[in-house]
Amino acid sequence: MPVAINRVQSSAQHGAQRHSRLPRPLRLGCISLLALTLLAPALATARDDKFPGVRKLMSDEQFKAAGLDNLTPEQLKQLDAWLLQYTAGEATVLRDQNAEVREVESAYNVEAQAAEFRGWSGDTVFRLDNGQVWKQRLDGRFAYGGDDQRVRIERNFMGFFRLVHVATGRAVGVTRLR
């Protein structure tokens, strides 16, 4: 019996030695590939969350009507930097304190019942009782087993929409289909 155990141990040790004989560059390459595979979803999400800039926030018509198509790339970069700082700081104060901003914002807020609301799972389509149809645009999952189907569509300062489940306060970014 001791001989069999020694053969198993010897075989395991030999396998470990054989595995460690991989050339260092190949081992590092394998580790890098594994790390990249594990990090790719997080990197893709981070890329999606990058500040879009004024060019992507406006329609072509709005961009041209504002004369922004005449700006140099450096001027657009400076405008984007200002907009980013403004959005992070002063915009939230203005949204809370300025009646004109609150009035415009409330015109975009819609409350309705979502047909068969059970949350969202990545590409969920929401059919509202007012005839509107919205699709989830941001990743995320939320399971809901309750009876409250009320949702609110809100437009944020950047012009993007989110669906808020009224009962839970959970929210996800959405795009209107019709």
Residue 165 above 80 pLDDT?
A: yes
Q: What are the residue ranges spanned by the domains of the chain?
A: 109-178
CA atoms within 13 A on the CB side of 87: 15
Nearest to residue 76, comparing CAs of 58, 53, 50?
A: 53
Tell me the per-residue pLDDT of 13-62, one tens digit each, with 9 for 90 and over.
Answer: 444 444 446 565 555 544 544 444 444 444 343 344 678 888 888 778 88
Tell me the per-residue pLDDT of 76-127, one tens digit each, with 9 for 90 and over.
Answer: 999 999 988 888 888 777 777 888 877 777 666 789 999 999 999 989 999 9
List, in order, residues 6 or more apart from 142 with CB less than 8 Å away: 119, 120, 165, 170, 172
Q: What are the contacts of 71-79 at 24+ separation with CB within 8 A?
A: 79/54
The DSSP line for 126-148 is: EEBTTS-EEEE-S---EE--SS-
pLDDT value of residue 74: 96
pLDDT value of residue 9: 47
Q: Which two tokens stand for residue 88?
A: 């992070």
First to last CA, the chain: 76
Round to whole Å and give the CA distance between 31 and 87.
40
